Amino acid sequence: MKDGRQVLVYNPVAPTPGKFGGPRTPLDVAISTDGKTWKTLAVLENEPGEYSYPAIIQTADGLIHVTYTWKRQRIRHVMLDPRKG
């Protein structure tokens, strides 16, 4: 981000042994000042389903925009304000 922090969108679960990938729920956003310790900024999805292929950008106004597949049915777009987290 502009202020040097890092943001990550990920599924915080362990992979299933013997399977490629793993569970795709929940879907979280985390933020870090050093790349070693992370704080959850938001939980985007927590219901059963597949939430995958996230992409993230920060726009000129400082907002974070996240897109990802929602239950393999559509694309979801979420805006977050990192100043509030």
Q: Of 18-22, 29-33, 36-40, 73-77, where does mean pLDDT reach its minimum?
A: 18-22
The pairing of strands 27-32 and 39-45 is antiparallel
Please state the pTM of the whole predicted model.
0.87
78 with 69: CB under 8 angstroms? no
The gap between the terminal CA atoms of the chain, to the nearest Å, is 14
Where are the domains positioned within the chain? 6-84
Question: Residue 42 and residue 54: Cα distance in Å, rounded?
Answer: 14
15 vs 81: which has the higher pLDDT = 81
Q: Name the DSSP class of 73.
A: T
